[in-house]
Structure 1
Amino acid sequence: MTLLHNPVLRGFAPDPSLVRAGDWYYVATSSFEWFPTIPIHRSRDLAHWEYAGHVRGAVPGDSLAGVPDSGGIWAPSLSWDGERFWMVYTVVRSVGTPYFDLDTYVSTATEAGGKWSATRRIASHGFDPALFHHEGRLWLLNMQSDHRPGGNRFAGIVLTELDRETLAPIGDTHLLLQHERLIEGPKLLERDGWFHLVLAEGGTGVEHGVLVARSRSITGPYELDRQPLLTTRDDPSVPLQKAGHAELVETPGGEWVMSHLTARPLRTPDGPRCPLGRETAIQAVTWDEEGWPRLRHGGWHPVVGVEVDVGLHTVDSTHTVDEPLDPADHPTHTADPLGWPWSTLRAYPDPSWADATTRPGWLRLRGRHGPESRWAHSLLAQRITEHRAEAEVTVEARPRTFTQAAGLVLRYSAEAYLSLDLTWAEPDGEGQHGQQWQGGGRTVLSLVEREEDGTRLAAVVEVDAEGPLTLGVTVDNGAARFWYVKDGARTPIGPPLDFTKLSDDYGSKLRFTGSMAGIHAVDLVDAAFTADFTGFRLTCW
């Protein structure tokens, strides 16, 4: 038996799609506007996971330029037909409108962490697609959306057979189920002559859950289970909230497990907030006398500690994952200083703006657009995985204008970030008049807080920028305290800032990702200013 501790993938790992291929388990998660696209992790025991690679080329042209925050790649679905891995997913280009403006793609690979085939566009009814392999046939599941005035944006679950080679539709599209509550994220499995339709229900927030329907025929009609398989909507005290979006997998020993997304909220005076985003958890599942899936521990609430039998005699809870990936065979899993766990916005890091070779031991970023750009923001960031965290980095740069900046950033989106930047300001006591090119001025650290209603300057401190300067931030109990090193000691800058605003739950707009810590550089005029960074450290506990 293996004892796992949820979440098994911590910090910004939503919409998990779990599959078993032989003795290995693989999970694919949503990446939205972030690269690498569709991260994949693998495990032998469901408790210890390692990054295995990603679907390179998932986005045509390797660019999501212009895509809004929380747009991009939604809810990829990973499957295994005994010979190949299949990935189906949707690129969503509009958020918060009646039109999702989406395209659904399929890619395949012989190894989940290896090279994936060129993408092929298929029928794009709506987001959250999934593929079902059954008796040599291939079926596409999807939710459908009705964009018309008065229409239902979640208008039911549809099923279409696809040709396995051409991926063209075969025959008609079948409406499987409509429901009064929002349903999405369909997955199909067959057991004991029943086709079980596993659904995400109620949206991806605190009302989230998992609902199951079943039928003797793949095309229906489907009857709904009398109770949810999983949800926390009825009890805000459960430590794993927002539980939903599930996938069921059978272990080699005949046991069943379920992956699902969840979130760990911080309690604030304004209600619960989840700055870590939605994460990946696993529960043990059994089947009742009537043939419905149930949580093995009873009820429908997820638990943190789960014992699972993976059916392998060589693996137990004390062992780490064996057979490490060989970088020679897996080019997506390398010692690349710009590779995982770094992530970038809307494109892969490019040597033209992210250079790890010119100055050994340093990363050089060339400034481009500002931190709210949807096109060319020079940013490298890593996932924050716990509510207590600390990030620091040493930066060396010579900003000559207020249009140049470089520093340390905590980021959720273009409208939710905190940044401590080395930049330029007018002489002390002089107003902002935009005439920096006439000489004078000073080098400063500028602490900025951005939220939906605008940007606030939290602090400005003049510094000596003739040499490297170490910047840092400590996050604890929902507060972010920024600092820099002066005369060998940490010196606080500005007041504590509200880290919980970098959350799915703050503001009026849809938010689906998670908080990141990273480095960035800005040059709004010439795109030529460079900043060198070294010693980046992100510690979460």
Structure 2
Amino acid sequence: MIKNPILPGFNPDPSICRVGEDYYIATSTFEWFPGVQIHHSHDLVNWTLVRRPLERKAQLDMRGNPDSCGVWAPCLSHADGQFFLVYTDVKRFDGNFKDAHNYIVTAPSVEAEWSDPVYVNSSGFDPSLFHDDDGRKWFLNMQWNHRTESYGGSPKHPAFDGILLQEWDPVSQKLIGPVKNIFAGSPLGLVEGPHLFKRNGWYYLTTAEGGTGYGHAVTMARSLTIDGPYEMHPDTHLITSKDHPDAPLQRAGHGQYVETPDGGAYHTHLCGRPLAPKRRCTLGRETGLQKCVWRNDGWLYLESGGPVPAVEVAPPEPVERIERPEVIWRDFDDPVLPPEFQWLRSPETDRLFSLAARPGHLRLYGRESLGSWFEQSLVARRQEDHCFRAETRIAFSPDTYQQVAGLTHYYNRHKLYALGVTLHERLGRVVTILSCAGDYPDSRLSFPVGPGVAAPDGSIDLAMEVVDNDLQFFWRAVAGGAGEGEGQAAGNDDWRPIGPVLDAGVISDEGGRGEHGSFTGAFVGMFAFDVSGRGTPADFERFTYRRLL
């Protein structure tokens, strides 16, 4: 069976594309670099990350982008022997303005190097590109109306001012002809995320509505002409959990339709899996896939009946589902980062980290603070499980309290926990905890263990365990390491818990100011900052992520 979510952890806004027997899903990455995740599958059951196409400065530079900005809602398509990827780089979040710039990049294959971007427009976000059967191409995006009291954290319907349509000329690489507002949305409001497809002479439009929280939905409409008018689906919403608070997949919305080679119908959607008692989705917005059917009325419906997404759905053909490994052990012997890791905002990686400066280690250069929007040395992977343990080994010799490096459970500058090695004037080198528990707008660091615990010379092992809403940090000294990171710890009995049990549920969309205040996902990884400006390095020998069953 297809088991949802098919892409666990932070993988929102899934755009799906089939080319022959191959399926691809592109998802949003927001402020995380490189931009856009593309997963591949042959069977709709098993998915593998194969590309992050926005990988160089000419394509994407997000330094200064606020939290939850950057790459929103990409759309992946294939026509004329090449792939097209359209995406938004959002430069502002709070307040009336978004400054949302839309681009197109192309490539002969997903795995190839993608082109430099072609600028399209800035009238709103969530762009998509539709290739009509007459050869014409059409660009869609939602229109943002800044003349409203619509502020980040409390979206108001009037800011979401309908879906725009304009023809795209692939020769001149410009929009041509009139701009038309083709769909105002349903009474649910907050219309965004448009995708068009054509079937039996009808143009079908799916959009996301209701905001990206618990009122989210996929809304469907159709028209015999591409510019409308569009009539609403008999049920209005194809997919939603908004009226079903006990459904296991909540926040369902924003996806795209795809057909199998034999005409089978499926639709992607984002979703969240809340934890009791506060209904916080600590894994962020994940990707789900639903099997659909066409009824005699010419409308698409979920095969399971009703709008609520199912956890398990039938694949096109029976196939063995490959389970994710329980333990993922990563050393840093290769010249490139392991595929699951990303970093924040900056395309200038040489200033942030190196895999060559000390062979067998990931060297992070201490840059700006954990709260920076510009240049931050933080290399991390997605949290994919409600219960997990992460470990790393660090060699780090700070000479001031302004230098800190270690292990972090990170969402954004307002929501983070960090177990760091630093220097204290009286205690010497210490292991300490930095906490920012989402108290927006007064987001101040706290220090649950005060100045920290004195640590001997040499390498240090750091660990964290998250069990649903609870986080506990651990540390231990490495015997015989002498600062070289090559010693051995005696065993698990040497691990020492440090600090209180922390509220891991803060590291979620709903933490802090709530579900519309931010909407990315939780990461766990390694960091280093040096606010003295000297770029002091920290060397990490390995990183382990273990799913706790």
Q: Show the counterpart of 1:279.
A: 286
Work out the CA distance in 2 between the residues paired with 1:335 and 1:120.
33
1:57, 1:118 within 8 Å by CA — same for their partners in 2? no
1:204, 1:244 within 8 Å by CA — same for their partners in 2? yes
Deviation at 1:150, TM superposition (A): 6.6
- Return the match for 2:539 from 532, 536, 540: 532
Q: Show the counterpart of 2:319.
A: 316
1:62, 1:348 within 8 Å by CA — same for their partners in 2? yes
**1:128-527 map, 5 Å:** 128-134=126-132, 135-149=134-148, 152-179=158-185, 180=187, 181-227=189-235, 228-268=237-277, 271-309=278-316, 316-317=319-320, 336-348=335-347, 350-427=349-426, 441-450=427-436, 451-452=438-439, 453=442, 454-459=444-449, 460-486=451-477, 488=490, 489-508=494-513, 510-527=517-534
- Encode CA deviations 1:449-499: one digit per residue, 9 max, x unaligned: 103332111114333341111010000021010011257411100000001
Q: Secondary structure at the match of 2:220?
A: strand
Q: Which amino acid aligns with 2:159?
A: R
Alignment RMSD: 1.9
Q: Which amino acid aligns with 2:255?
A: A
Bigger Cα displacement from structure 2, 172-181 vs 18-27? 172-181
Cα gap change, 1:360 to 1:339, in 2 (>3 Å): same
2:55, 2:347 within 8 Å by CA — same for their partners in 1? no
1:12, 1:383 within 8 Å by CA — same for their partners in 2? yes
Q: Show the counterpart of 2:36.
A: 38
**1:92-103 map, 5 Å:** 92-103=90-101
Q: Secondary structure at the match of 1:500?
A: helix
Q: Secondary structure at the match of 1:75?
A: strand
Work out the CA distance in 2 between the residues paired with 1:252 and 1:384.
34
Cα gap change, 1:59 to 1:124, in 2 (>3 Å): farther
- Encode CA deviations 1:53-101: one digit per residue, 9 max, x unaligned: 1223576464211100000010000011151111111110000221111
Work out the CA distance in 2 between the residues paired with 1:414 and 1:231.
31
Work out the CA distance in 2 between the residues paired with 1:182 and 1:352.
40
Cα gap change, 1:477 to 1:123, in 2 (>3 Å): closer
Q: Secondary structure at the match of 1:351?
A: helix
Deviation at 1:175, TM superposition (A): 1.5
TM-score with structure 1 setting the length: 0.90
2:414, 2:512 within 8 Å by CA — same for their partners in 1? no
Gaps of 5+ in 1: 322-333, 428-440
1:399, 1:405 within 8 Å by CA — same for their partners in 2? yes
- Encode CA deviations 1:37-60: one digit per residue, 9 max, x unaligned: 111110001111111112235764
Q: Secondary structure at the match of 1:229?
A: strand
Work out the CA distance in 2 between the residues paired with 1:316 and 1:462.
52
Deviation at 1:336, TM superposition (A): 4.4
Q: How many pairs align?
A: 508
Q: Show the counterpart of 1:80.
A: 78
Q: Which amino acid aligns with 1:38?
A: V
Q: Show the counterpart of 1:431.
A: none
Deviation at 1:292, TM superposition (A): 0.8
- Encode CA deviations 1:242-271: one digit per residue, 9 max, x unaligned: 000020001012101111101111112xx2
- Encode CA deviations 1:308-329: one digit per residue, 9 max, x unaligned: 215xxxx8235799xxxxxxxx
Q: Which amino acid aligns with 2:250?
A: Q
1:398, 1:465 within 8 Å by CA — same for their partners in 2? no
1:397, 1:530 within 8 Å by CA — same for their partners in 2? yes
Work out the CA distance in 2 between the residues paired with 1:376 and 1:411.
16
**1:101-120 map, 5 Å:** 101-120=99-118
Deviation at 1:526, TM superposition (A): 3.2
Deviation at 1:186, TM superposition (A): 0.7
Deviation at 1:355, TM superposition (A): 1.7
Percent identity among equivalent residues? 37
Which portions of structure 1, spanning 4 or more consecutive aligned residues, are displaced by more than 3 angstroms?
57-62, 318-321, 334-337
Work out the CA distance in 2 between the residues paired with 1:385 and 1:396.
27
Q: Which amino acid aligns with 1:238?
A: A
Work out the CA distance in 1 between the residues paired with 2:57 and 2:357.
29
2:99, 2:122 within 8 Å by CA — same for their partners in 1? no
Work out the CA distance in 1 between the residues paired with 2:162 and 2:413.
32
Work out the CA distance in 1 between the residues paired with 2:455 and 2:293.
63
Q: Show the counterpart of 1:435.
A: none
- Encode CA deviations 1:298-317: one digit per residue, 9 max, x unaligned: 1111111111215xxxx823
Cα gap change, 1:350 to 1:59, in 2 (>3 Å): closer
